[in-house]
Amino acid sequence: MLPPHSHDAVRGFIGNGARVLIQRGSPAGSADSLIEVVEQAFKAHYDLHWPSGTIAYDGITNLLEILQRHGHPLAVLSNKPHSFTEAMVARLFPTIRFAMVLGQYAGIPHKPDPTGALEIAATLGLAPAQCCIIGDSTMDIETALNAGMRAVAVTWGFHDRERLIATGATSLADDPAALMAMIG
């Protein structure tokens, strides 16, 4: 049995994909074989249970619908495995037409590496400077900065305001209305 962690500690582990989450939560010096077993168990459990515990933040669906009506191209970039990302987006946002949904798969390094973000921009025919990454984690802010994109942090997610600012966030939204005002 591995030692438990507080809710706040686990929030700090999130952001670099499942394997890094498992590594951060495991005792220092854990064998790769243990990490592998725990990761596979985590993914199997997550695959079965994410639909009952994953919801969109209040106001986000409405915000996305407004942006969609105004012709803003929308995309999703996640460190979650690609199949999970596609399933979650389809379930959580059935009325939104995303131009691209990109989760983690072989050949795309995890955020904050900008490869995925740059692939989305290229697919949309946009220069990185024309794109904005909106996120709730330090990984999202770092990805935007690494890709040469505008970074907008939302303060109601995994990482708190202080961590987001320390990472380089200069645009912060405390609720969906403030986010809408920022991105127009």
- Digit-by-digit pLDDT tens for the chain (184 residues) are 788 999 888 888 887 778 888 999 999 999 999 999 999 998 899 888 888 888 999 999 999 999 999 999 999 999 888 988 999 999 999 999 999 999 988 888 989 999 999 999 999 999 999 999 999 999 999 999 999 999 999 999 888 899 999 999 989 999 999 999 998 7
Q: 173 and 97 in one domain?
A: yes
Domain total for the chain? 2
In a domain, 163, yes or no: yes
In a domain, 2, yes or no: no
Q: 155 and 120 in one domain?
A: yes
Q: 20 and 98 in one domain?
A: no
How many CB atoms neighbour CB 172 within 10 A? 17
d(CA 18, CA 36): 11
Q: 125 and 68 in one domain?
A: yes
User: Tell me, what's the pLDDT at 183?
Assistant: 84
Q: 138 and 85 in one domain?
A: yes
In a domain, 162, yes or no: yes
User: Tell me, what's the pLDDT at 115?
Assistant: 97
* Full residue range of the structural domain in which residue 120 is found: 60-183
Does the pTM of the predicted model rise above 0.95?
no
User: Tell me, what's the pLDDT at 50?
Assistant: 86
d(CA 99, CA 73): 6
How many CB atoms neighbour CB 161 within 10 A? 13
Residue type, 173: A
Q: 77 and 127 in one domain?
A: yes
* Residue reference for tokens 């997610």: 157
User: Tell me, what's the pLDDT at 89?
Assistant: 97
Q: Which two tokens stand for residue 135?
A: 């996120």
User: Tell me, what's the pLDDT at 77?
Assistant: 97
- Picking from 79, 81, 84, 141, the residue whose alpha carbon sits closest to that of residue 111 is 79
Q: 73 and 103 in one domain?
A: yes
Cα atoms in the 13 Å half-sphere on the side-chain side of 154: 20
d(CA 169, CA 141): 6
Residues 93, 57: contact at Cβ < 8 Å?
no
Q: Which long-range contacts (CB under 8 A, 24 or more apart) does 103-107 make?
A: 103/76, 103/78, 103/79, 104/17, 104/78, 104/79, 104/80, 105/81
Q: Using CA of residue 62, residue 67, residue 68, residue 70, what is the dihedral sign?
A: positive
Q: 98 and 23 in one domain?
A: no
Q: 91 and 15 in one domain?
A: no
Q: 76 and 32 in one domain?
A: no
